[in-house]
Amino acid sequence: MICIPIVAPTTEAAVAQMERGLPLADVVELRIDQIEDCDLKQLLAIQRKGKPIIVTNRRADERGAFPGTERERVELLKEAVALGADYVDIEVRTEKLLLKELVAQIEKYNGRTKRIVSYHDFSATPSEEALRKRFEECVTTKADIVKICTYAHTVEDNLRVLGIIPYARNKGQTIIAFAMGEQGRISRVMAPLVGAAWGYASAEKGAESAPGQLTIEEMRLVSQILENAGPG
């Protein structure tokens, strides 16, 4: 499965991107921290064609662009829950009280929205032990999906971050994991093949939401080559 992030400056532009991206993607991520006049009601009312929508509102120190307070940021995620978003993505480093409030909002609406709890390291890929520690930290929040993203400086970094996927699956935890950066591109392709819930790819060149992100066309092409490659 492939998720297309929607990164746009206005609601109007985001709607246009969603209409182009929905037929291509399996999942769509709305990066509402990038949208200056964010109208969640309008964005979530779009005909989805059966495609789930993730609402993400990244704070500045997580390479996001949300200009308000932490409470204001989480209130928008709570609004997304009330409007029926399929998923909300929140950082594990969010204040515990605000995390609890988001969980309570999800429970209020009978758990129809699932929670992605994410950890990002934008400078490196930690050791296997450190990655497992971050994973367990996300699990303690009762995440529906754990998301771990690191930055790759070497090819070996890809192997380390991909290794957390079978570790999580053996524990019965749904996970997304890959490495960012040019050296991390192969992990983006391999992650869904080794059991990640989905990978991320832009709808087109220039619409990337993170360094090293492939286009959906590139992602599918390389995935098909790997899947069709025979032994030997």
Q: pTM for the whole thing?
A: 0.90
Amino acid occupying residue 220: R
Is pLDDT of 223 > 80? no
CA-based nearest residue to 120, from 34, 201, 178, 47: 178
147 given a catalytic annotation: yes
For the residues 7-35, what does the mean pLDDT come to?
A: 92
Sheet order of strands, 174-180 included? 174-180, 145-151, 114-120, 87-91, 53-56, 27-31, 2-6, 199-200
DSSP bridge pairs for 90: 117
Is pLDDT of 24 > 90? no
CA-based nearest residue to 180, from 148, 207, 205: 148
Percent of the chain with pLDDT over 90: 76
Q: Give residue 227's pLDDT band: very low, low, confident or very high (50, 70, 90).
A: low
3-state secondary structure at position 196: coil
Domain carrying residue 39? 2-228
DSSP state at residue 29? E
Residue 219, token pair as written in the block: 């992602």
Check 147, 153, 171, 205 and give the catalytic one.
Answer: 147
> Residue holding tokens 């109208």?
39
For the residues 169-181, what does the mean pLDDT come to?
A: 96
pLDDT per residue over 1-10, tens digit each? 899 999 999 9
For the residues 33-60, what does the mean pLDDT come to?
A: 91
Percent of the chain with pLDDT over 70: 94
Distance between CA atoms of 94 and 159, rounded to whole angstroms?
A: 28
Is pLDDT of 212 > 80? no
Check 100, 120, 171, 205 and give the catalytic one.
Answer: 120
* HSE-CB of 217 using CA atoms within 13 angstroms: 4
For the residues 108-124, what does the mean pLDDT come to?
A: 96
Overall number of domains in the chain: 1
Task: Give the number of residues written for the chain.
Answer: 232
The separation between CA 45 and the C-alpha centre of its own chain, rounded to angstroms, equals 21
The separation between CA 2 and the C-alpha centre of its own chain, rounded to angstroms, equals 10
3-state secondary structure at position 84: coil
Q: Give residue 208's pLDDT band: very low, low, confident or very high (50, 70, 90).
A: low
CATH at residue 180: 3.20.20.70
